[in-house]
Amino acid sequence: MAVAWQDCGGRMARGDWIEVEDRMQSGYGYSLDAETGAMTDPGFAPFYSPAEMLQMGVFEGRYLNDCRAEFPESWFASAKLSARADPALNYFGVKSRQPLAEWRRKGWIIQPDPRGWFQWYCRYYLGRRLPGVDDRQIKRWRGFARHAGQVRANCEPGNPFCRPRQRQALLQWSYDCLI
What would the DSSP string read from start to end of the chain?
-EE-GGGTTT---TT-EEEEESSS-EEEEEE--S-TT---STT---SS-HHHHHHH--GGG-SSTT-GGGS-GGGGSS----SS--GGGSTTSS-----HHHHHHTT---TT-TT-HHHHHHHHHHT---HHHHHHHHHHHHHTHHHHHHHHHHS-TT-TTSSHHHHHHHHHTTS-TT-
Distance CA 154, CA 167 (A): 12
Domain count for the chain, please give it.
Answer: 1
> For residue 83, what are the CA distances in angstroms to 67, 80, 167?
13, 11, 24
Q: Is residue 34 part of a domain?
A: yes
pLDDT digits (tens, 9 = 90+) for 101-135: 887 898 888 899 999 999 999 999 999 999 999 99
Q: Is residue 178 part of a domain?
A: no
Q: Is residue 127 part of a domain?
A: yes
Residue 89, pLDDT score: 96
Q: Is residue 177 part of a domain?
A: no
Residue 101, pLDDT score: 86
Q: Which amino acid type is present at position 125?
A: Y
Residue 49, pLDDT score: 98
Residue 136, pLDDT score: 95
Contact, 38 vs 14, CB < 8 A?
no
Contact, 90 vs 168, CB < 8 A?
yes
Q: Which of 49-53, 56-60, 63-67, 137-141 has the lowest mean pLDDT?
A: 63-67
Residue 1, pLDDT score: 38
Binned at pLDDT 50, 70 and 90, residue 5 comes out as low
Q: Is residue 179 part of a domain?
A: no
Residue 66, pLDDT score: 87
pLDDT digits (tens, 9 = 90+) for 162-171: 999 999 999 9
Q: Which amino acid type is present at position 175?
A: Y
Range of the domain at 139: 2-172
Q: Is residue 60 part of a domain?
A: yes
Residue 10, pLDDT score: 60
Q: Is residue 116 part of a domain?
A: yes
Residue 29, pLDDT score: 97
Binned at pLDDT 50, 70 and 90, residue 2 comes out as very low
Q: Is residue 75 part of a domain?
A: yes
Instruction: Work out the average pLDDT over 71-97.
Output: 94
Q: Is the pLDDT of residue 153 over 80?
A: yes
